[in-house]
Amino acid sequence: MPVPKAELHLHIEGTLEPELAFALAERNGVPLPCADTAALREAYRFSDLQSFLDLYYGLMAVLRTADDFTELADAYLARAAEQGVRHAEIFFDPQAHIARGVPMGVVVEGLGAALDRAEERHGVSTRLIMCFLRDEPAASAMATLEAAKPYLGRITGVGLDSAEVGHPPVTFREVYEEAARLGLRRVAHAGEEGPPEYVREALDVLGVERVDHGLRCLEDPSLVERLVRERVPLTLCPLSNVRLRAVDVLEAHPLRTMLDAGLVATVNSDDPAYFGGYAGDNFDAVRAALGLGPEELRTLARNSFLASFLEDDEGRRERYLAEVEAYEFGAAGA
């Protein structure tokens, strides 16, 4: 069994495997731009974040009913559990669905049905985090937050994703203030393609508790010092970084540098159907490419639970942490 871990950076729409995309396309009568799953996989060659997002938003058209979302989440949870994920904090992009005529309620109820039985079926505890699309206006994000109000019992927090450069966190100040008033936890993508200044803004203006990616913080030593001092977790996604060309090759990924600097780094899969692997695959890949040893892998697993939003959950975090400390790393998968 792989090391127990929490997955904290996972877009549920990014778990749509080609086989399920074709099955849903047929069921819902939605045309796809590729003839078969092999042709679709061929299209998974990205030059940057935007080239990926174009395909990601296009393929979502197959998701129409609550059952579609339940099936999608259930398939993810099964695969994640196989790779040692014990707790998953799952992003979803409601604006991308509402714009296609799929209402918030369909999405949340559909995902919620899978999450409700995740513990029993897959042994995975879960949280749901609603992301705003930063390349849409702040007013649209605010309307989305309003539309989510009947479902806040199911939603733990808010995030910010989509095309980063040119869309600074400060644009969403009021939306995050309102989210905080509603008692929601706050995270945001920052420093994936955008500058270190966006990471600072996410902390100072949006009040985020974790930074998604945060890779480019390394360009600003005083920011790194602050992230270390304040123990702000970074949810890194190594295979994603290679596929979207944030780093050239996995061997050049700065994960080890970040751990050595004392950053609270975690390893996650982002959009596993598109980037070549789920959480355990990301652990295995960095283990091999960077030569990480058992104690570094244990630190990553420990960090994932420390950085999670599990504290309200009767001792679960402590139980998971105890499992991490007791885990014996072998030669096989992490």
Ligand X SMILES: Nc1ncnc2[nH]cnc12
Q: Can you give the binding site for Zn ion, defined by CB under 5 A?
A: 270
The reply, when asked if residue 260 is annotated as ligand binding, is: no
Smallest separation, CB 330 to ligand X (Å): 31
Which of the choices ligand X, Zn ion, none does residue 216 contact, using the CB cut-off of 5 to 8 A by kind?
A: none
Does position 240 interact with ligand X (CB under 6 A)? The reply is: yes
**Does 36 carry a binding-site annotation?**
no
| Interface of this chain with ligand X, residues 114 to 173, rule: CB under 6 A | 161-162
Q: What is the dihedral of CA 282, 285, 286, 290, to 10 degrees?
A: -170
Residue nearest to ligand X (CB): 161
CA distance 82 to 254: 27
Q: Which is nearer to ligand X, 3 or 111 (CB)?
A: 111
What is the total count of residues that contact ligand X (CB under 6 A)? 11
Q: Under a CB-based contact definition with an 8 Å cutoff, are residues 191 and 214 in contact?
A: yes
122 is in an annotated binding site: no
Q: From 280, 319, 288, select the one nearest 125 (Cα to Cα).
A: 319
Decide if residue 243 touches ligand X (CB under 6 A): no
Q: Which of residues 42-71 bind ligand X (CB under 6 A)?
A: 49, 56
Q: Considering the complex, what minimum distance in angstroms separates the CB of residue 229 from Zn ion?
A: 25
How would you classify residue 315: left for phi > 0, otherwise alpha for psi between -120 and 50, otherwise beta?
A: left
CB 305 within 8 A of CB 325: no
Contact between 89 and ligand X per CB under 6 A: no
Q: From ligand X, Zn ion, none, which one binds at residue 14 (CB under 5 to 8 Å depending on kind)? A: ligand X
Determine, following the binding rule CB under 6 A, whether residue 241 of this chain makes contact with ligand X: no
Q: Return the residue of 186, 189, 200, 216 that touches ligand X, per CB under 6 A.
A: 189
- Sheet with strand 210-213: strands edge to edge: 5-11, 85-92, 125-133, 157-161, 185-190, 210-213, 233-236, 264-267
Binding mask 290-319 for ligand X (x = CB under 6 A): ------------------------------
Q: What amino acid is encoded at 227 in this protein?
A: L
* Residue 209 falls in the annotated catalytic set: no
Of the residues 4, 6, 11, 308, which one makes contact with ligand X according to CB under 6 A:
11
| Residue 162 interacts with which of Zn ion, ligand X, none, CB < 5 to 8 Å by class | ligand X
Shortest spacing between CB 156 and ligand X, in angstroms? 18
**Separation of alpha carbons 193 and 171, rounded Å:** 17
Q: Which of 13, 17, 89, 192 is catalytic?
A: 192
Q: Measured from the CB of residue 274, what is the shortest distance to ligand X in angstroms?
A: 8
Q: Taking CB under 6 A as the rule, does residue 255 contact ligand X?
A: no
Question: Which of ligand X, Zn ion, none lies near 192, with the C-beta cut-off 5 to 8 A by kind?
Answer: ligand X
193 binds, among Zn ion, ligand X, none (CB under 5 to 8 A by kind): none
Write down the least CB distance from residue 11 to ligand X, Å.
4
Q: For Zn ion, which is the closer residue by CB, 68 or 270?
A: 270
Instruction: Confirm or reject binding of residue 7 to ligand X (CB under 6 A).
Output: no
Which residue is listed with tokens 């990926």? 52
Annotated binding site: 9, 11, 189, 270-271
Residues that bind ligand X (CB under 6 A): 11, 14, 49, 56, 161-162, 189, 192, 240, 270-271
As annotated, the active-site residues are 192
